[in-house]
Structures are given as C-alpha cells and as structure tokens.
Amino acid sequence: MSGNRSKKWQKALLKIFLGLTLILPSCTASPEVQFSRLPGREANQGLVPQEYLCPGGPLAEVPDPRLAQEICAFLEQSGMLGGIPMGMASALPMVLNEPVQGYLRTFSGSQKGNFQAALARSERYLPMIRQVFQEYGLPQDLVYVALVESGFSPWARSPKEAVGMWQFIEGTAQRYGLKVNEQVDERRDPEKSTRAAARYLRDLYLQFGCWYLAAAGYNAGEKRVEGVVNRHDTRDFWTMAQKKLLPQETCNYVPQLIAAALIAKNPGRYGFTEIKYQAPRAAAKVRVPGGLNWRWFANSLEMPEKEFLEFNPELQGERLPEGTKEYWLKVPGNKKRQADHLARLSWRLGKMASLEDSN
C-alpha cells in the first residue's frame, strides 16, 4: 500500500516538475536552427529537449502530450528524481542541425582516415576516461572532447602551445594542478590530465549551466564566453554561433563535438567498418627516488626509450623531478618484478650517496 502511495507521489511530483520546466528558458532553442530527432535514439539514451537541461534564451513552448510522456520516461529511466542533480544528463544533449550534419559528412568523408586512426587509438584510453568522468558526474559523451582536441594523442601540441590529449595551455594546466617544468609536463600524462579536464569541465558547467557553453568555454576560455553572455544577454550557443559572437573555431567546436560523439558511438552507421581498436596497456606502477635518471632505469629494463615514454609520456629531460622524495613510474605489467628490483637498488644507491655527502 505504501509502495503504491509512493509511486503516486512520484508521479504527482513528476507532473509538477514538468509544469515548472515548461517555463524554464532554453540554451539552444534558437528559431533560426532547425533540429530533427536522431533515428533510433530512445528516450532513455539521453534524448531530452534542451529546455530541461540548460538555462538562458527564450521561453520554451509547451510540449505536446507525447513529448511530455517521452520526457517522463526519460526522467524515470535515468533516475533524475532519485538523487541526480537537476541539469545533469546521462549523455551530452544531441541535436542534428546543419552544422552538425556538415561535420558528420566531413569526418566520414575527407577526414575519414584521420578520424578512423583517432577512433582506433581511443580504446587505449577510454576505459580510464569513462571511469574518471563517472567519478566527477560528467556526461559520458564528453569523453569525445579528447577526440576533437587531440585524436586521443598524449603527444599532441597545437600552434598555440596547447599540449596533450586534453590540449591544456600552461596557465590552465597549472591552475588545475598539473606540473609543467623541465623534468615533467603532466599535460601529457593521460590520467592526471583527464582528472584536470574533468574538474575544468565540471567548473565550466557550474558557471554556465549548459554543456554546450561549457564546451565553448573549454575551447575559447571561460572569460570570453562569459563576456558574450553578459554583453549580449544570451545563453543560447547557437545564437552566439550564428551571430559570430565567438571565434569561428569555437562556433565550429560544439558541432564537431556532437558529430564526433555520434560517429564514435555508432561508427558502422557512418561507414567506419574496419577499425582496429588499440587495447588498453597493462601497466604497473613502481615507486622510485626523485631525481632518478629515468634513461638508466629504462635501459636497465631493456626497454627502448620510445617504448618507456609511451608508458610515461609526461617525462622530459633526463631526470625525474628532484624536488620530490619519490616518483611513481609506469612499466609494462610483465616487467613489474624486474622494475621492483631496480627500484630497491636505486633506493639503496640513493641512501649510500646521501651518507657519502654527509661525511
């Protein structure tokens, strides 16, 4: 009996919620942009009108009963009444307008080779990225920011000196706790940079209340997007893009992200049928003294330096950071025992050197 009463209360609350959301403004419902539904996407896969996710812009029109039922199903199936904060979606909001369709054609046409190589590389890092994004409560489709930014390459460097899979400039990287110095550039560390990107994207969403504007802020910088919001009194990304209120690169960025996510989630639909996905590396961590010559360590493991750097792409120079007492190196799982032996040896040699210096 109490269960039925609870369900009635949930449905009553749901109706109240739907009624309230009808007066919420939209961040994407621009009259000049024609949206269409994606074929084959059901309500429980994250397809929910933008006025239920983003503030700003003109008032939303009252949906028809079928749309209300679809939203109801989405909310129930995604658990948004069970503790998930309002405004947080299980996936990035998807639209299929002309800019998005244009990049679908480009990525599956003239840029198909590069895009396929990026998709193949993606599976090496996606399990880790998805786990981190889940920890931070981010829509899983935001993992494809790394696809647009770098093609999932830790070694990527832009003409503007943005570095790594998430293309951090030095100032933003240091703001989010990444070290950039002569010994290490943690913008190239896949896990550390992913955690920094997750915190940055979360902060951008908290600032703008809209995933599209969060993505635009990631590309152009939050101050530039905030300036457009304040000067033009709009939170509608598509209006900003149509009126060229943001840099052209940023106007293209959100459609690229949506198109990349659509292809990555269903590559066969877009002609990507022969992708040889790279498997995640089986890596183990070894604690070594700070200041250690990593080239000696790699050579002692009989690992080519290039291969060793594939496991530790943040390293630069010849030595590990000397200002830290210890450093965690990553090695192939099958070399863990040998690496542990070398680590113990390096700690003993370090103690012997310290004793000699004190004498």
The partner residues of 284 in beta bridges, in order of sequence, read: 331
| Largest distance between two CA atoms of the chain | 85
DSSP character string of 202-254: HHHHHHHS-HHHHHHHHHH-HHHHHHHHHHHT---HHHHHHTT-S-HHHHHHH
Class of residue 228 by CB neighbours under 10 A (exposed 0-12, middle 13-18, buried 19+)? buried
Query: So what's the pLDDT on residue 91?
Result: 61
Tokens 């904060």, located at residue: 85
Q: What is 98-270's CATH topology?
A: Lysozyme (1.10.530)
Query: So what's the pLDDT on residue 228?
Result: 96
The alpha carbon torsion through 60, 248, 102, 29 (nearest 10 deg) reads: 0
Domain ranges for the chain, please list them.
2-78, 98-270, 283-358
Taking phi first (over 0 means left), then psi (-120 to 50 degrees means alpha), and beta for anything else, what does residue 156 get?
beta
Distance CA 143, CA 219 (A): 15
Amino acid at 190: P
DSSP character string of 36-97: -PPTT--GGGT---GGGT---SSBPPPPPHHHHHHHHHHHHHHTTTTTPPTT--SS------
Query: So what's the pLDDT on residue 204?
Result: 95
Distance CA 188, CA 315 (A): 9
The predicted model scores a pTM of 0.75
**For each of the chain's 359 residues, which pLDDT tens digit applies?**
545 555 555 555 445 444 434 333 334 433 333 323 223 322 222 333 333 334 333 333 334 455 445 545 554 444 433 333 333 344 677 777 888 889 999 999 999 999 999 999 999 999 999 999 999 989 889 999 999 999 999 999 998 899 999 999 999 999 999 999 999 999 999 999 999 999 999 999 999 988 999 999 999 999 999 999 999 999 889 999 999 999 999 999 999 999 999 999 889 999 999 899 999 988 999 999 999 999 999 999 999 999 999 999 999 988 998 878 899 999 999 999 999 999 999 888 766 554 445 44
